[in-house]
Structures are given as C-alpha cells and as structure tokens.
Chains A and B, each alone.
Chain A
Amino acid sequence: MHEKVKALVINYEKCTGCRLCELVCAVYHHGVSNPAKARIKIEKWEWEGLYIPMSCKQCIDAPCMNVCPVKAIYRDDELGRVLVDENLCIGCRSCVAVCPFGAMGFDPVEKKVFKCDLCDGDPQCVRFCDEKAVDYVEVTREPLLKKRDAAEKIAQAHKRGLELSQMEI
C-alpha cells in the first residue's frame, strides 16, 4: 500500500438520503436496479432525519480475508482494496458473518458473496453523489479533511463569540 492510495470517505452529515449510490452501484455491477445487490447502503433513522452510508472499509487486516477457508479473498495493494475471487468462493458466507460493518453481500441466485471493489478506481457512488457524502480521497488526506471540518466549527464559534462581545447592550 502506498500513500497515493485512495479510500472511500464517508461524511454522513452531508448525506441527503436519496440512495442514488445504491442504485448506480447495483446497475454498474449487475445491470439491475436492486438495492439488495448494492455494495453501499444508506442506513436511516428516519424519525430523526439521520442517514448513514455504510460500505466496505477495505480493512488492512480484513476479517473477511482472514476467515475465508479457501483463500478466495485477497488484498489488492495497488488500489488499496479487498477483493473476492468468485471462482474460488464456495458460498459459505463466513465472511458475511464476520464482517463488523455488514459490508459483505450474498447473491442467493449466483450463490456467491460480493463486496465493494471501488469500481476499479472510479467508484460510481462517488461519481454520482453531488454532495460528496461519499468521497474518494487519498488515505493520508482523510484526517486532514476531518480536522478542517472540526476546526471550522471552532472558527465559527470564535467569530460568533467576537460578534457577541462587540455587541452594544
């Protein structure tokens, strides 16, 4: 893995809950509209307006890879992703059971597991998400972006504090 490797970065606050990512993912990989076949899913707490996109984290020490009895799951360091070799997969679903994020899917027709492959470096979920609630950025930049976001809140509070202190009462 090298420092230019990119990863899916999810900023759930930006998610509008439209589920276009689910749709384009299923169409890109299976040629069908069916969220059950998407590698990304928006989990919703509708009664408080909370939407959280969930997808594979491409773990370094990936539980799915470790548990696979036939070594069908492997790392591709070039794109920083974990892949399934469908020809080797025996459909035991151990990886589904062990994944802490529910990111491994199972296709009952093909009888194979499936997971996010980052669309070979052009993730369609990112391409179609105008809000960039799902983004594709270099792994080293992710914390920098988070820092900036958090700092912005502090900066705003600071500005507001100044405004208040200058107010004539």
Chain B
Amino acid sequence: MALSRRIAYIDLSTGKVETRPIPVDIRRKFLGGRGLDAYLLYNHSKKDVDPFSPDNPLIVSAGLLVGTLASATSRTHVMAKSPLTGLLGSCNMGGFFSPELRWAGFDHLVIKGKADKPVYIWIHNGEIEIRDAKNLWGKSVTEAQWAVREELGDPDVKCLVCGPAGEKLVRYANVMTGIKNAGGRTGMGAVMGSKNLKLIATRGTMDIKIAYPREALEYNKKFIEQITTAKVNQTMGILGTPFIWGATNSWGGVRVNNFQYNQLLYADDVEPERFHEISNETFGKYHMAGCFGCQVHCRARYRIPDGPYKGCYDEGPEYTTQGAFASEVGCTSALTVLTGNYLCNQYGVDWLELGSLVAWAMELYEKGILTIKDTGGIDLRFGNDEAVIEMIKHICERDTWLGDVLAEGGLKAAEIIGKDSIKYLVHVKGMQNLHSDERATPALALNIATASRGSDHLRSRPAIDLYHLPESVLRKIYSSPIPYDGPLSSDFRAYEGKAWQVFWQEQCFMAVDCLGICKYHTTFLGATLPNFEDWAKVIYYNTGLEFTPEDLWTIAERCNNMERLFNLREGLTPDDPYKGDVLVDRYHDEPAKRGAPDVIGAYIDREKFLKMREEFYRYHGWDEKTGVPKEETLKRLGIDNEPSHLL
C-alpha cells in the first residue's frame, strides 16, 4: 500500500536510525510531502535554531501519490530552517528520486545531527546505512552521482545530492537529482553541507499496492488527456519553460539590469525558439525529456554549442535561467545562458538567487558602491557575459572577497557592503526575487510578498490572471471547492478579488505539494488543468483513502497554517522589511519604464497593497494586522496545541 511507507529518523551524530509507520489519522490531517514536512519541521526544531547547527532537522519526503498513477507523481520535497532567510526553508524537485525512495520503503526522512566526516546515506528495500563519502566530497553534482552508482554497482540508484556549493555553505545551494532536477531556493543544499551529508542514494524494488488498479489506470488515461490537451502544456512540451520567459518579456514582465527596466531589448538570441534550435542542432529532433510518469516533458536536452564548455551535455535551460543570465544581468547571449545553466547545475546552486545577486552587485558597481577593487578586478558592468560566468565560480568557490560576500545571500551581503546597497536589493524575506517584475500585476505582487518561503512564484502565483480570462471562467475556477461570491477581475492590473485568487492558489499549490504532483499538472499556467475535484478521485483510486474536495481544501489550510506558525515562531512580523510580508520600496516608488501600454507606468500602490494583504490574512483566518492565525482558526484545523509531537 502507498500508506505502508515509513518515516525514518536518522541521527548523523550518533549514527542511530529509527523507523516508524505513518498512522492513517496523520495522513488524513497532512496527507504527506510538503504538508507533513511542515508538521515535522515545527515539531522537530526549537525556536531560533541556527540553520547550520546539528539541531536543524533536514526533512526529505515523497508526496502521498508519488510513484502512483496520478500523472507526474515525481516530486521530492525538502524542508529545514533556511540558512538564507532564517525562516521556512523549503524546496521541491522533479526527476526520479522520490519514486525510488518509496520503492525502497520510505516516505519521509528526518535527518538530524552532524556527521564528523563526509558521509552519504544508502537506502534500499527497507534498510538504511550511513556510509563514508570521503571519495565523493568535492565532486560535482553529476560526478558524485555516477561515482556512487559505480560504488554500489547499480546504474539505477537514484540520488539526492548537494554539490560543491552546498559543501561550501553557499546559503542558496540546491539539492539536486539527475542532470538538472533541482530543489532550489532557501539553501537546502547548504543544510546538507553543514551536516557533512554529501548525498542520499536510494534504490528499491518493493511494491506500492494500488488500491483499485483498473480504475486507476483508466482514470489516469483521462487525467493525462486533460493535462496534455492544454495548449500551455503542449507549448511547454516543445519549448520547455523558456517559452514563459519569451511571453513575459514581450509584455514587459521581466526584470532587466537588476530592477531598472522591465523588458530585455535585442533579445533574439535568448528567445525560446533559439534554445529549441540549439537543442535540435546539438541533440536532435526529439530532445525533450520528462520526469517520472509525465507526458508534458518540458526538459530539453542539449550540448553546449561553443565556448570553453563546448560539447558538455546538459538539460534545460529554464525560464529562470534566461532571467538569471540574460535579462537581470543585461546579457543577450544564448551561450551565456547555457554556460550559466551548466555551471550552476554542476555546482548545485540556485541560479535564481545567484543571477539576481550578481545583477544587484552590477547595479552597485554601476552606482559606485562597489569598485573594481571590490570585485577583484572584474569589470562588473551590465551586459558583461564573461563577468557573469566568472562570478558564478567565485560565489560557488567563495574564492574572492565579493564571491564570498555574495555567497552569504542578499541581506548579509548588504550588511557587509554597507552604504546604500540595501536600497537596490530586490528581495522578500531575504530571498531574492526571481527575474520577474510584478509591478503591473498586483496579484503576482501579493503572491511574492506573502509566499511562505520568501519571494517566490511557486507558492501562490495566479499566473492565469495574465490571460484576461472572462470573469465567468475565473469564477468557475476560484469558487470551487469553497464557494466565493466576492469580486473577481479579468484585468491583471486590478486589485479587486486578487487576494482571494492568491489565497486559492496557495491552497492549490499546497495540496499538489502534499501529493507530490508537478504544478504544471494543476491550475497554474493553464485554466483547464486538474485540481481539488480530480485529486479526490486519484487519491481514492490509488490509495483507497476517501476525501471530499472540501476535505483536501481543509488539509491545505492546515498545512499552510503550520508553515505560518513556523515563520511566526522564527520572527516574521508583517511589516518587517527583512522578514515581513512586504515588497521592497522600488515596487512602490519606481514605475515600470517599458513593455505593453498597460504595463508602462505601472507600480504597486502601497495603500491598496496593504488592503489586499489584510483581505488575504482574513481569508486565512489570521489577524488582519498581525498576520497571526486566530485561536479559532487553529482550533478549527486541530493545530491549536502545536508542537503536539505525534510523529
């Protein structure tokens, strides 16, 4: 049974391993994946724990439906306190790791302590060993994985690995699996590094019993059709996520030169079609690849066409890579994007954070706050492709003053650099914004301001808001499974009804993260994709657990509140410029300069933003001013006595 998977507590200091079943009543409260991770993190960490201390638990999990027939059930979730933000650390990745973890018998790993020398954890068919990783330490993301397969004598071993950036405690280092599947944001790779944990290897051949196999197969067929007939997914299956960057840039929604412009000009070489062409030329006509069980296949395969890394095999790029190594840093070269993509994948570092920080340093250099002495002789001006590539290495290796400073993340770096540097930092809760510019889109602005892990597009972004969908369509989506009869607007520049959309999306993304399904398979970029109604059915066919769509909604509320409780415990207050649910001043004070007519001149109105935030808090059952969950909310959700230490 999918429900027979266990939780393992692994103490790297003592070497002790303990496993326990996950009771069904816990499943009914938190499902699995990210939701149960949030419960475990709150219960297994103490207030103000240092993210790099042995007491910060690193929690790795597979969602409830991972490995089953629910389409793209590939997602691995990792949680700990973040060394970047000091708040919730959380990342999610595709690939093939978590299905293998489930076939090996486990759903959740709670890793505590710190090994006295580099180790890796080997998990196979119900057994867990802590092994010496002397020969793996220092190896790149892919080298380490191939080496451990060699050592274990099995090419089908799947790994979750931290790269050299994680070893060097770069505060936004990724966990990775395969060539490029990355758990980015919030530095979970650095938490691995701090524990001397290089890698988790897993291989399993244990059955996951499907409750109703024939029904699950038939429903999955229908489910896949629903997913692959969406135009957005068909485009994604050809061009990958770069198409999103192309579309966004066309109307003026990407940050350029840090935050100075919102549309990259002369961008032909970094348009999605160009990357498609490069993949065609260097890999072949059929170059798209998929994660476990996914028919969307949004991952392109390519070889670097030129330059010092010519011929190296890699996958991607993603739209965030175009953001990091083209628009934000003012570059317009496909080769820079692909080289940056390759280096970040090998170092195991979050390019969203890194690209954004390099762009910030470039603006500081332009403004004279950083000098050529500070940069170690690098001419760090916008559009200098070589400087960008150099900075990736210096940050990941921490081998220059500036590289070392930027490896500490934006807020710490701003403190070290001083002067006016903080004024130019584009972050929320100490996490850099991805490359997108939300000034014209209040819904998206509220999304990044309130996301539980810092500035982020994958926690609550109502991306379909950009499509000018008729109000009737919006109403159909956003008033189910919970009725909603408040305002909804087809205009993405409006403030009315946006708080509800962001709240609804937050609920939707929490549920999908608990299940371990990819977000491209739900209401994110496509308006016709599955959500609560459909999940109730796939959960039933695959696991036998009965939920109504409303039950799933309540579970998502519970899990979102667990994350909120953690953030509040670690010091979040709504208006704190460094830890709050706020945007940096530039969003409010600097109108957008480029783009479509309805984007030029756009900025986020402070008062309207705060009103929208109050409304958002209200939907959550939080105090409108303090953002703290009300007693009655926690009681209703049954989490009024946390930590309750049930697991």
Q: Could you tell me which A residues sit within 8 Å of B by CB distance?
A: 13-20, 23-24, 27-28, 30-37, 44, 46-49, 51, 124, 127-128, 130-131
B207 interfacial by beta-carbon distance below 8 Å: yes
Which residues of chain A are near B178, meaning CB under 8 Å?
Answer: 46
CA distance A115 to B205 in the complex (A): 17
Residue in A closest to B293 when the chains form the complex, CB atoms: A20
Contacts of A28 in B (CB 8 A): 213, 217
Tell me what chain A mostly uses at the interface: helix, strand, loop, or mixed. helix
Residue pair B205, A34 in contact (C-beta under 8 Å): yes
| Nearest CB of chain A from residue B370's CB, rounded to whole Å | 38
The 3 A-B residue pairs whose C-beta atoms are closest, nearest first, are A18-B290, A36-B205, A32-B207
When A33-B67, A35-B103 are in contact, do A49 and B295 touch as well, CB less than 8 Å?
no
Interface contact B289-A17, CB-CB below 8 Å: yes
Interface-centre pick from B99, B179, B290 (highest chain A CB count, 10 A): B290
* Chain B residues closer than 8 Å to A46, beta-carbon distance: 178-179
Smallest CB-CB separation from B314: which chain A residue? A49
In the bound complex, CA of A35 to CA of B102 (Å):
12
Q: Is B313 an interface residue (CB 8 A)?
A: yes
- Whether A18 lies near B208 (C-beta < 8 A) is no
A37 to B207, alpha carbons, bound, how many Å? 9
Is B58 at the interface (CB under 8 A from chain A)? no
Judge whether A16 and B289 touch: CB under 8 Å. yes
Other CB < 8 Å A-B pairs besides A13-B286, A32-B207, A32-B209, 13 of them?
A15-B286, A18-B291, A18-B294, A20-B293, A20-B295, A23-B69, A24-B220, A27-B213, A32-B210, A33-B68, A34-B207, A48-B313, A49-B313
A51 to B284 Cα, complex, angstroms: 13
Determine the residue in chain B with the shortest Cβ distance to A33: B208
CB pair A124–B293 under 8 Å, yes or no, is no
A38 to chain B, nearest CB (A): 11
Q: Return 19 A-B CB contacts under 8 Å, by A number.
A: A13-B285, A15-B286, A16-B289, A18-B292, A18-B294, A18-B295, A19-B293, A20-B292, A28-B213, A33-B99, A33-B103, A34-B103, A36-B103, A47-B146, A49-B301, A124-B217, A128-B221, A130-B295, A131-B297
B122 within 8 Å of A by Cβ?
no
Report how far A127 CA is from B220 CA in the complex, Å.
11
List of A residues within 8 angstroms of B207 by Cβ? 30, 32-34, 37
Asked whether any CB of chain A lies closer than 8 Å to the CB of B142, the reply is yes
Interface string of B277-300 (1 = CB under 8 A from A): 000000111111111111101000
Count A-B pairs with CB separation below 8 Å: 96
For A47, the chain B residues whose CB sits under 8 A away are: 142, 146, 179, 313
Q: Count the B residues whose beta carbon is within 8 Å of the partner chain — how many?
A: 43
| Residues of the B chain whose Cβ atoms lie less than 8 Å from the Cβ of A16 | 286, 288-290, 297
Q: Would A34 and B208 be within 8 Å (CB), given that A14-B286, A16-B288, A18-B294 are in contact?
A: yes
For B155, give the chain A residue with the smallest CB separation. A44
Which residue of B103, B210, B285 is within 8 Å of A27 (Cβ)? B210
Contact between chains at B294 and A31 (CB < 8 Å) = no
Interface string of B203-239 (1 = CB under 8 A from A): 0011111100100110011001000100000000000
Expressed in whole angstroms, the minimum distance between the Cβ of A87 and any Cβ of chain B is 23
Q: In angstroms, how far is the closest chain B Cβ from the Cβ of A111?
A: 15
A19 touches B208 (CB 8 A): no
Partner of A33, one of B69, B228, B285, B289: B69
A18 near B293 with CB under 8 A, answer: yes
Rounded to whole Å, the gap between the CB of B645 and the closest CB of chain A is 32
Q: Please name the residue on chain B nearest to A124 by beta carbon.
A: B217
* Inter-chain contact A127/B221, CB cutoff 8 Å: yes
State whether the Cβ of B96 lies closer than 8 Å to any Cβ in chain A. Answer: yes
- What is the bound-complex CA distance between A51 and B205, given in angstroms? 21
Which A residue's beta carbon lies closest to that of B69? A27
* Residues 289-335 of B contacting A (Cβ, < 8 Å): 289-295, 297, 301, 313, 315
